[in-house]
Chain A
Amino acid sequence: MKRFIGSWRRSILLQVTSSSIIISILVTLVTGTLLYGKIRDGVYREKNQTAVSEAQALVNYTQAQLDATRYRTDIVLSTVISGIFKAKDVSPTTSVRETIMLATPQTAKRSLKYQGSSNKVLISTIPQSLRMKVRKNFFSQSIRVQIRYADRPGESIDAIAIGRVVGIPPKDIYEIYYLFPLTQQSQLIGLIRGYLLGTGVILVLMIGLITWYVIRRVVLPVREVAQIAEQLTAGDLGRRLEIRGEDEMGRLAISFNEMALSMQQQISRLENLSRLQQRFVSDVSHELRTPLTTIRMASQLLYDARSTLEPSAARSAELLIAQIDRFETLLSDLLEVSRFDAQAAILQTADTDLKPLVLKVVDQLQAHDSQSFIFNAVDHEFRAVVDDRRIERIIRNLISNAIDHSENLGVTVTMVQTEHEVAISVRDYGIGFSERDAERLFDRFWRADPSRSRVRGGTGLGLAIALDDAKLHQGTLKAWGRPGRGAHFVVTLPKSPGIPIRVEPIHPVPVEELSTLMANLDSEDI
């Protein structure tokens, strides 16, 4: 059932066909019932009219026969009456009928007690109510009764009954009832009902079939379009629709194919651009690196010989070598950024324990810095499948950045893990940044405070690259900061590549700030 509902919901063909079948069943039922009722009523009315006029003719005939009878005994009467019962050609239409003749109670009390019926029809066929009416009015409308026979128990025949009275001179009065079986009419109506039902069923089936066929004609091409579209989405850009005819479907196929073609061209153009970009990056890399090597070696030579140079020349050699270092870092950062832009950055993952990796970076940076470093990591191991070179670079960038902005107030590095995630946070208590700056923090070459920035000589690309590195791992890098209260950077990485992050083991807002935040909220409430 569930499966049926499922496929029903997914298929227009099923939906439309089943609803059109249901609607046509309803319509056929209503019209069929109405039509059947009208026909049945008409047939019965017709029979009724014949029956009434026939009954009248019979009564007249019977009365005439009785008037002409001399011997007024039960036997004579019964002979006469059986003759009357069998009489034919009394009226223009003489139908099969049964007759019952009964003495009224007054007559029975006084003289003859005759009662008789044709073909052993049971007297009880006539309901008492009808008899009362006839006795009272000498007349009755036709009513429906069930004829029962004495010799055929259990059988009953639907019929119209009409009651009248006849008199036998001088003053005996008899009730006479004519019963006209409706056998023929019932058969006719049964036949008509059968036809109606049959026609109805055929009609419904035809409508269902036609709907199914028509919708299929429309839906099949749509389904085909959907399939091709799915394949296109999956990257099979060469797929096209087959064009049949010049109707709407043909036009759809043509414009669909045009769309696919232009998409394919666009994508290959972009791919080409990206390839060109990568080539360019690679060429720039090669072309710049060779002269840079020469410059570097030459300046090193000058630097080594600076004791033999004039003071200004010696100082120049020192400046030269420092700037070459900066230039080289900038160059490799730029190349890294263009690799991200060209989507040419590749993860080279391996199962790594991140704790020694982070500790190594902390130790190296700590060695060149006088401020206090705190390293928190409760767990013994932090294993994750990552590109260690990139993770090391993220950590190095974050810690260098923290050192640059910490105002010598210390840097705290924390590691926390869950089953599927590892988080590393770097916290400083220095100048921090405003919420407005937070949005631009990861922009390339963006500096919070241009007047004081280049002291340490970061390239301005560090955070942008760190963010790209984190994203490449499908991890996140989030920042929190307040002017004068420091900054907090949290990188969260999935332990296995390709699994999106579900929880953040470390919240970007540092714990101590969270409590002040809560305290502020509380006081505002009061």
Chain B
Amino acid sequence: MTLILVVDDDEDLAEMLGIVLNSAGYEVDLVNHGDDVLEIFRANKPDLILLDVMLPGIDGIEICRQIRAESIVPIVMLTAKSDSREIVQGLEAGADDYMVKPFKSSELVARLKVRLRRSPSESGSSLRIGDITIDQVAHSLNRDGQIIGLTRLEFDLLVALAKEPGRVFTREALLSEVWGYQHVTDTRLVNVHVQRLRSKIERDPDNPELIQTVRGVGYKAGAVR
């Protein structure tokens, strides 16, 4: 059974989220206070965290940062503000995706499904990008025998790019492929994650070779070496 950790200080909303997620077939842990999150996370090891940003105690951004330091678990942020600042902060702290309140149950469930899906491993195939080998079965990255750790989303993003080496992906295409968005343009989401990914895999993140920017269009994978 898939376990989702729902963190929201509004008990009614948390309960409602529990009902919706339960009926969608997930198991749910509810947490209302920021200080309790890490403890329960470590104890129960959820498959995904639904995290409100404004929390009593440790705030959502800080929780996000701390969880990211020890886990690659998918984190979806809940925010009541559509301002850029809070969203970008959350994404930079390690959140994979975000939802702006008020959202529809169907929207939420669809988004969580994308985050929870296992990348379909194509007959044990391994991909290459630059000097890095991507093992899709073991879900791991290897450069000169060294393992590079990525979050699930970062891995998906890299695989999406590496699968079609010549293709230039627009941000919209990546959003639909990796995040499951339709008809939505949110450049923040793509830009922040490409930056995070580059900081982990590029030898020089300021002069990226593996994930190249195509000005005015989007991104493409660098050549295999």
Q: Do A and B come from one complex?
A: yes
Please give the residue numbers on chain A whose beta carbons come within 8 Å of chain B beta carbons, in ascending order.
Answer: 282, 285-286, 289-298, 300-301, 328, 348, 351, 388
Residues of B within 8 A of A291 (CB): 10, 12-13
Residues of A within 8 A of B19 (CB): 297, 301
Q: Among B12, B102, B185, which residue has its beta carbon within 8 angstroms of that of A289?
A: B102
Given A289-B101, A289-B102, A300-B105, do A294 and B81 touch, yes or no (CB 8 Å)? no
Query: Do the beta carbons of A300 and B81 come within 8 Å of each other?
Result: no
Expressed in whole angstroms, the minimum distance between the Cβ of A377 and any Cβ of chain B is 21
| Residues of B200-225 whose CB lies within 8 A of A | 216
> 16 more A-B contacts (CB under 8 A) besides A286-B54, A300-B104?
A282-B81, A285-B80, A289-B100, A290-B8, A290-B13, A290-B80, A291-B10, A294-B16, A296-B102, A297-B16, A297-B17, A297-B104, A301-B19, A301-B105, A328-B102, A351-B216
**Cα(A296)–Cα(B99), bound, Å:** 14
User: Hey, what's the 0/1 contact readout for B14-32 against A, CB within 8 Å counting as 1?
Assistant: 0011011001000000000
Query: Do the beta carbons of B104 and A294 come within 8 Å of each other?
Result: no
Query: Do the beta carbons of A293 and B13 come within 8 Å of each other?
Result: yes
**How many residue pairs, one in A and one in B, have C-beta atoms under 8 Å apart?**
54
Query: Do the beta carbons of B80 and A286 come within 8 Å of each other?
Result: yes
Query: Do the beta carbons of A294 and B13 come within 8 Å of each other?
Result: yes
**Cα(A359)–Cα(B27), bound, Å:** 43
**Cα(A286)–Cα(B8), bound, Å:** 13
Residues of A within 8 A of B182 (CB): none
Chain A minimum-CB-distance residue to B12: A294
Query: Do the beta carbons of B104 and A296 come within 8 Å of each other?
Result: yes
Chain A minimum-CB-distance residue to B20: A297
**Cα(A300)–Cα(B105), bound, Å:** 7
- Give the 10 A-B CB pairs with smallest separation, nearest first: A289-B101, A286-B80, A293-B102, A292-B102, A289-B80, A293-B101, A294-B13, A294-B16, A300-B105, A297-B105
**Cα(A301)–Cα(B20), bound, Å:** 8
Q: Among A294, A300, A388, which residue has its beta carbon within 8 angstroms of that of B10?
A: A294
Q: Among A285, A295, A297, A298, which residue has its beta carbon within 8 angstroms of that of B81?
A: A285
Residues of B within 8 A of A348 (CB): 84
**Cα(A426)–Cα(B179), bound, Å:** 35
Query: Do the beta carbons of A293 and B103 come within 8 Å of each other?
Result: yes
Given A286-B80, A290-B10, do A298 and B102 touch, yes or no (CB 8 Å)? no
Residues of A within 8 A of B101 (CB): 289-290, 292-293
Residues of A within 8 A of B216 (CB): 351
Q: Name the residue among A282, A290, A301, A388 with the largest chain B CB count within 10 angstroms.
A: A290
Please give the residue numbers on chain B whose beta carbons come within 8 Å of chain A beta carbons, in ascending order.
Answer: 8, 10, 12-13, 16-17, 19-20, 23, 54, 80-81, 83-84, 100-106, 185, 216
Residues of B within 8 A of A290 (CB): 8, 10, 13, 80, 101
**Cα(A301)–Cα(B17), bound, Å:** 11
Chain A minimum-CB-distance residue to B103: A293
Residues of A within 8 A of B16 (CB): 293-294, 297-298
**Cα(A494)–Cα(B206), bound, Å:** 35
**Cα(A295)–Cα(B216), bound, Å:** 41
**Cα(A297)–Cα(B81), bound, Å:** 18
**Cα(A328)–Cα(B8), bound, Å:** 21
Expressed in whole angstroms, the minimum distance between the Cβ of A284 and any Cβ of chain B is 10
Question: Can you list 7 A-B contacts with CB-CB less than 8 angstroms, sorted by A residue number?
Answer: A282-B83, A290-B8, A294-B12, A295-B102, A296-B103, A297-B20, A328-B102
Residues of A within 8 A of B10 (CB): 290-291, 294
Residues of A within 8 A of B102 (CB): 289, 292-293, 295-296, 328
**Cα(A298)–Cα(B23), bound, Å:** 12
Q: Name the residue among A285, A286, A297, A298 with the largest chain B CB count within 10 angstroms.
A: A297
Q: Among B17, B81, B103, B104, which residue has its beta carbon within 8 angstroms of that of A286?
A: B81
Chain B minimum-CB-distance residue to A282: B81
**Cα(A297)–Cα(B15), bound, Å:** 11
Residues of B within 8 A of A292 (CB): 101-102
Chain B minimum-CB-distance residue to A388: B185
Expressed in whole angstroms, the minimum distance between the Cβ of A352 and any Cβ of chain B is 10
Chain A minimum-CB-distance residue to B9: A290
Chain B minimum-CB-distance residue to A351: B216
Expressed in whole angstroms, the minimum distance between the Cβ of B22 and any Cβ of chain A is 11
Residues of B within 8 A of A388 (CB): 185
Expressed in whole angstroms, the minimum distance between the Cβ of B35 and any Cβ of chain A is 20
Expressed in whole angstroms, the minimum distance between the Cβ of B215 and any Cβ of chain A is 11
Expressed in whole angstroms, the minimum distance between the Cβ of B100 and any Cβ of chain A is 8
**Cα(A72)–Cα(B54), bound, Å:** 147
Residues of A within 8 A of B23 (CB): 301
Residues of A within 8 A of B80 (CB): 285-286, 289-290
Expressed in whole angstroms, the minimum distance between the Cβ of A409 and any Cβ of chain B is 29
Residues of A within 8 A of B100 (CB): 289
Residues of A within 8 A of B104 (CB): 296-297, 300
**Cα(A296)–Cα(B108), bound, Å:** 12
Residues of A within 8 A of B185 (CB): 388
**Cα(A291)–Cα(B13), bound, Å:** 7
**Cα(A400)–Cα(B12), bound, Å:** 36
Expressed in whole angstroms, the minimum distance between the Cβ of A74 and any Cβ of chain B is 127
Chain A minimum-CB-distance residue to B78: A293
